[in-house]
Structure 1
Amino acid sequence: MAHTAREDLAAAATSRRRELEIRLHDRWRPEHDRLAERLGAPGNPFAQALWLRTWYDHVAGRKGMAPLIVQAHEAGAPDPLMILPLVRQRHDGLDVITFADAGLTDYNTPLPHPAFDADPGIMKRLFRQLRRCLPKADLLLLEKMPCQLANGRANPLALLPGVRPANLRGHPVVIEEDWESYWSGLKRKFVKDQARRWRVMGKMGEVTCSFVTDAEEAMELFGVLLHQQRERQRRLGRPYLLDDPVMSGFYARLLREGLADGRVLFSVLWLDDDPVATLIGIAREDHYLMTLPGNNFGDVARAAPGRLLTECTMRELHARGFRVLDFSIGSERYKDDFRAA
């Protein structure tokens, strides 16, 4: 029974009597889909099968990266203690082993067994075994790792010696109470500003918010989102990651595969028939994470359509049962506006 298996695994992790085995795979397999959904990292949509499979299938080979899916087992146990979604790549003249990321993944985590009670001792032992089994490389780079998983457990990799804080933080908003209680707890100035923005937008035409469910419409609106984001990056004088067809193709494939069952959500703010703000997010259980926001500039920008779309997206998803609405990493000021005062 599962309960007995969890007890056995936990006991083994504590006693350290079983030998550790490292198994390496050079491609993402159907068995990894099943393991990712059964294990995963609770609350991290980047650690679900859809994201990882799409990443390995679409990005790795096209970017010259060799997939390196690591399974850490205790001898005799059917399920791994942990899966590490890694790649080996050439960067600045060095052979580097790192997460399956390429600038697309914001939270890099292992996929630990629910019963894996990691501690610094077993992680040091596991890491020593891992280094013996990995292909030769100049650098093992593990970054953008949350210290804790969403269920409050420590990220096993954060227990390794030498790990240090990164200059990044996520922006999850947890709303356990009703929406009105959450909204009234935000900074008063922000709430008043939002009401004013809705009035300003309403004077320009009919304002509606919707979620796209049709794949063909989603592909058309994805093109709008890319244009909006490209314009923003141009104004900031920054290169745009999704100008790379491999990167934009990754999101297009993600939309096609995840839109129908709600693992990918695409919300739009309309001014009459014009999509003035767009937002793509990914979901897992009761967690929603915003990945690609876009909005128009020009006259409509004075009503901050991106903030209005964020509000109505959060309100609707909270009504659907989502309780963690995550703005992900980045230091944009608006993210703090949606956090309790």
Structure 2
Amino acid sequence: MIPIATLTPALDDRQASVTLRRGGAPYCAVTCTADELVSLAAEMQGVTEQSAFSSPCWLGPLVETLGSGARGRMFGVAVRSEADGTLAGAFPLAVTRERGCNVVRFAEFGVTDYTAPIFGPAFPASAAEAHQFYDAIRAALAGYDLIRFERLQTDLKAYPALPAIYPGSFASRAVGNVIVVTDSVQSYVADLGRKFRKEVDRCKRHIAATGPLVLERAAGEERIAAAFGWLEQLQSQRWEETGANYRLDEPAYAQFYRAVIACGIPAGFAEVITLSAGEVLVGAVFGVRSGDRFIVLRIASDDAQWGRFSPGRITLLAVMELLVAEGVRTFDLGIGDYQFKRRLGADTFGLADLIVPLTWKGAAVAAAIRAKRVLARQPALKRLADRVRGRA
């Protein structure tokens, strides 16, 4: 990424604003600094329903770690009602340099599963208003080449007009995974079938043979650091064994998660929860809360000792029991098509991507991205294209 200041001088002098007056509710879109964006997030907490990834306990650490320095600088676009200045929404953004173009993305840096704006009281209530809202954002970003928003969450019930602010969006290859517990976790497990319930009981008995199962919500600086450090170590080892490129143990990512924990646990936003058999750790979960929704962001278990007994599944079910008792009903397992999510009966929900060229250079890049997506869905066409390019 390259610093925003080198791409758009208007960001510093506050000249990047656009007002639209096509009837209905006009909007003014103004660029803002990353710090101002975090302040807006804090102002809207408790005022309007928000995505967990719009929390100041998420965006603040993002600005401090991944959103500054070598990775580029975050900025925002705040959209307000011109009638009275009420906030309609704000977008955490960053710029990447791709194929010679300045591409505007959501500032997610590989850690945010779903992207959504900070919602304000004046957020569009109709499709007509949503189109004006979108036009204001697009005009405010006219100095760039391409808008590329990925993994957009568009199904938030509080905002039925949300899909309309992304005209021309299409289904993302990524999907979310969610479990809704309407009664108790025991009832949920039973509904998954007798075979599954018996398997869960068998695994719990084998793990509990080492010692009583104890679920602990990490509290206190030392206990939190120890629990999360153990989770990080197990995850890193597991990915190393697969040979995959793993970035979450890089210093900036480690700093980010620790900053979320430092801010989020006292605020009731973040959780680090461990399951032990006696004095022996079995598994750990790190996640964030938003209303009655808990998003599982990282999970690890000691498969070397209990791999045959699904320690990750047993840990997650224990965490679900704890949180259901506190009013949580929705357990979001994030993106990624992993087998354990299917076995737990998670339902998928769709996400959206948006590609909007703003210049002729952006149009060429957008066309290449779309062509690549089409080829990915059509293996025969991809083989033909590879032969034409001499790759087969």
| Unaligned segments of structure 1, at least 5 residues | 1-12
Q: Say which is worse superposed, 95-104 or 159-168, in terms of deviation.
A: 159-168
Question: Are residues 1:34 and 2:32 paired?
Answer: no
- The C-alpha deviation readout for 1:321-340, integer Å capped at 9, x for no partner, is 11111111111121123337
Question: Matches of 2:178 and 2:227 in 1, distance apart?
Answer: 26
1:37 deviates by: 0.8
Q: Is the Cα contact below 8 Å between 1:282 and 1:288 reproduced in 2?
A: yes
Counterpart AA for 1:100:
A
Counterpart AA for 1:161:
P
Q: Is the Cα contact below 8 Å between 2:29 and 2:80 reproduced in 1?
A: yes
Q: Is the Cα contact below 8 Å between 1:36 and 1:49 reproduced in 2?
A: no
Question: Are residues 1:312 and 2:318 paired?
Answer: yes
Question: Are residues 1:191 and 2:197 paired?
Answer: yes
Which structure has the bigger radius of gyration?
Answer: 2
1:98 deviates by: 0.6
Q: 1:207 to 1:179 in 2, by over 3 A?
A: closer
Q: Is the Cα contact below 8 Å between 1:293 and 1:306 reproduced in 2?
A: yes
| Unaligned segments of structure 2, at least 5 residues | 1-19, 348-392
Question: Are residues 1:89 and 2:96 paired?
Answer: yes
Residue of 300, 306, 311 corresponding to 1:300: 306
Counterpart of 1:111?
118
Residue of 182, 186, 194 corresponding to 2:188: 182
Q: Is the Cα contact below 8 Å between 2:134 and 2:165 reproduced in 1?
A: no
- The within-5 A match list for 1:315-326 is 315-326=321-332
Counterpart of 1:4?
none
Residue of 245, 255, 264 corresponding to 2:251: 245
Question: Matches of 2:199 and 2:189 in 1, distance apart?
Answer: 13
- The C-alpha deviation readout for 1:8-45, integer Å capped at 9, x for no partner, is xxxxx9x9344320111022236313333145554x31
Q: Is the Cα contact below 8 Å between 1:209 and 1:268 reproduced in 2?
A: yes
SS in 1 for 2:248: helix
Question: Matches of 2:210 and 2:280 in 1, distance apart?
Answer: 11
1:259 deviates by: 1.4
**TM-score between the two structures when normalised by the length of structure 1:** 0.87
Residue of 30, 49, 66 corresponding to 1:59: 66
Equivalences, count: 326
How big is the alpha-carbon RMSD for the aligned residues of Structure 1 and Structure 2? Answer: 2.4
Q: 1:135 to 1:246 in 2, by over 3 A?
A: farther
Question: Matches of 1:53 and 1:70 in 2, distance apart?
Answer: 16
SS in 2 for 1:241: coil
Question: Matches of 2:199 and 2:23 in 1, distance apart?
Answer: 57
SS in 1 for 2:65: helix
- The C-alpha deviation readout for 1:189-248, integer Å capped at 9, x for no partner, is 222111110111122344322111112211122221111101111122211121221111
Q: Is the Cα contact below 8 Å between 2:269 and 2:290 reproduced in 1?
A: yes
Question: Matches of 1:114 and 1:308 in 2, distance apart?
Answer: 41
Q: Is the Cα contact below 8 Å between 1:41 and 1:47 reproduced in 2?
A: no
Question: Matches of 2:200 and 2:142 in 1, distance apart?
Answer: 53
Question: Are residues 1:168 and 2:190 paired?
Answer: no
1:85 deviates by: 1.3
1:127 deviates by: 2.5
Q: 1:51 to 1:139 in 2, by over 3 A?
A: same
Residue of 104, 124, 127 corresponding to 2:134: 127
1:145 deviates by: 0.9
Counterpart of 1:140?
147
- The within-5 A match list for 1:42-53 is 42=50, 44-53=51-60
Counterpart of 1:9?
none
- The within-5 A match list for 1:212-251 is 212-251=218-257
Question: Matches of 1:58 and 1:74 in 2, distance apart?
Answer: 32
Q: 1:296 to 1:94 in 2, by over 3 A?
A: farther
Q: 1:334 to 1:187 in 2, by over 3 A?
A: farther
- The C-alpha deviation readout for 1:138-176, integer Å capped at 9, x for no partner, is 321111112211x35336255432100012221222223
Q: Is the Cα contact below 8 Å between 1:40 and 1:111 reproduced in 2?
A: no
Counterpart AA for 2:215:
C
Q: Is the Cα contact below 8 Å between 2:44 and 2:120 reproduced in 1?
A: no
Counterpart AA for 1:58:
T
SS in 1 for 2:91: strand
1:111 deviates by: 2.1
Question: Matches of 1:95 and 1:22 in 2, distance apart?
Answer: 20
